Each structure stands twice: as C-alpha cells, then as structure tokens.
Amino acid sequence: MSETLTGPLRRQRRPVGEALAGIMLTLPAAISYFLLLLLPTLAAIMLAFTDYELGAPAIGWIGGENFVELLDDLGFRQSLRNTMVYTAIVVPFSIIGALALALMIEALTRGKALFRAVFFLPVVSLPVAMATAWQYLLHPTIGPLNALLREIGVNGPAWLTSSDTVLVSLAVIGIWEAIGFNLVLFLAGLTAIPRELRQAAEVDGVASAWERFRLITWPLLGPTTLFVVTITMIRAVRTFDSVAVLTQGGPNRASEVLLYTMYTEGFTYFRLGYSAAITLIFLLIVLALMLLQTRILDRRVHYG
C-alpha cells in the first residue's frame, strides 16, 4: 500500500536535472573507458577470428581456425606449459616467503620501515636494469653464483642458457620480484588485524606463536591471502620483461612464455590475428582466475 503511494511520489519529487547531471558527470569516464579499454579489447577479440597480418591488403574472416591451429602448434603448447610451470613455482614460493617475512618484520620492535623498504626495492626497480644484474649474477663463467659453487667443488650449470635450468632461473627472478610486492600486501593485512584479538587469545590461554597464528592471524589474513594469490597468479601468467631481456624465450623455446609467444607472433611475424587469438586465451585465463577469487574463495574468507 505504502509502496504504491510513495513510489510515484518520490519519483516526482526528484528533478529530472539530477539524473541528467549524473549522466553528464560520468560521461568523461565512460567515454575514456569505452575508447581506451572496451574498444581495444573488442577489436582484439574480433581480430582473433581473422587471418589479418600487418600490411596485408585484405582481412579474411576465418572463424575458429586460429584456435584450431593453436591446439596443434607445438610452440604454443610448449609456451603454455612453460607459463604453467613458471606460475606453479613463483606463486607458492613468493607467497609463503612473503608471509614468513611479513610475520618476522611485524614481530620486530624496530627497523620495520627499513626491512619493508629493502624487500620492496625489487618492485620499484627497473626490471630491465635488474635483469642485467641477474645476467651477471647467473653468468656461467664470470657470475658470482657459479664462482661460489666452484669454491665448494660444484660445477654450476649455465643457468640462463641451458634448457634444463632456464625456466627455474627465471622463476627465481620472478619470486624475487614478487616477494616484495606480496610482503607489503601481507604487512598491510597484518596491521588490519586488531591487536586486541591477539591479546584476547593470549588471555584465553593461547600460549604459542604457532597456535596464535592458527587461531587468529591465518584466518583473518584470509582476504589478504586470497588477493595476494590472485594477483601473484595473474602477474606470473603475464610475465614478459625478464624473458624478453634475458633469454628471448630460448634456448630452444625452453623459456618461452605465453606473452612472449604472443609478442613474437604479433610483432616479429606480424600475424596479428594469430597473436590476438593468444591474447584472447590469455584473457580467458586471467578472467578464470578472477572468477575463482570472487565466486568461490571469496565466500570462505570474509566474515563480515
């Protein structure tokens, strides 16, 4: 009853100008979103179903042929597998490492800011410049790492030029890059846990640090951990800089990752349609990871 009365009344009271003003105010953002994000994405999706090559006189609609070709493309399959292996190494190590470091830094009474800055440095440093440093560190003959190994009588491998070790070496660099970023996220998550909860646990008889971690820190860090897992996975899947600078996907495609394949197909062989198909698959993977976060895991880690 009251709804039928107030509904139209309320609408009448609201001036038309207000709605118009709202539209006008969101318009700049909406236009730039459309032009800069939606349109290129749509273009890429369209392109994935064509045989377009840069400089080609005509553009042909070929349906799903690019994807059929991708399935049979040994190079692409190798690249997909490499990306998965890389992600599978980087994600757990960078997350567990970052969590451990964050707990240690949080427990410090002084020097918190210093350690936070030290571990965050890789995130703000130039990836290309850092890659050069890594190249020196991991150099088979003049690199300090192998020099150290020689001291203890081990003949170190050619870290970045042997197909057995190159992916692991790149993953270690990836962990080094990701750990600082994850650390800062975990530290922020830890600060958000009320100190009184830890004190309440202490009064309730939770004596050991491990029990306190299990009872409070780990569950309350859930939302942070979930975010860190998702963002680390996405960042690992789209790794590119270190591969491009250090190995160019070599040797023998042993370190070729998804984005690097996309890049070579698009900008070395100019097969833009094929490259767009890889982009689309990349997008689907990222989308799937985000869905995993919002739909499934989100429900288990928020207590609001």
Residues in touch with another protein (CB under 8 A): 194, 196-197, 199-207, 211, 214-216, 219-220, 222, 303-304
Burial of 154 (0-12, 13-18, 19+ CB in 10 A): exposed
Query: In terms of CB distance, is 164 or 211 closer to another protein?
Result: 211
What is the residue type of 232? T
Q: How far is the CB of 90 from another protein (least distance, A)?
A: 28
Of the pair 105, 220, the CB lying nearest another protein is at 220
Give the contacts of 83 (CB within 8 A, at least 6 positions apart): 236, 237, 239, 257, 258
Its sign, for the CA torsion 136, 122, 291, 261, is negative
Least distance from C-beta 188 to another protein, angstroms? 18
- Between residues 290 and 301, which has the closer beta carbon with respect to another protein? 301
Shortest Cβ 99–another protein spacing (Å): 17
Give the Cα separation of 49 and 273 in Å (integer).
7
Report how far residue 275's alpha carbon sits from residue 222's, in angstroms, rounded to the nearest whole number.
37
| C-beta of 122 vs 223, nearer to another protein | 223
- Output the smallest distance, CB 223 to another protein, in A: 11
Shortest distance in whole angstroms from residue 298 CB to another protein: 14
Q: How many CA atoms lie within 13 A of 158 on its CB side?
A: 8
In the complex with another protein, which residue's Cβ is closer, 71 or 203? 203
Beta carbon nearer to another protein, 206 or 286: 206
> Contact 175/94 with Cβ under 8 angstroms?
yes
* HSE toward the beta carbon, residue 56, CA cutoff 13 A: 13
Q: Kindly state the smallest distance separating residue 220's Cβ from another protein, in Å.
A: 6
Measured CA to CA, the distance from residue 107 to residue 222 in angstroms comes to 19
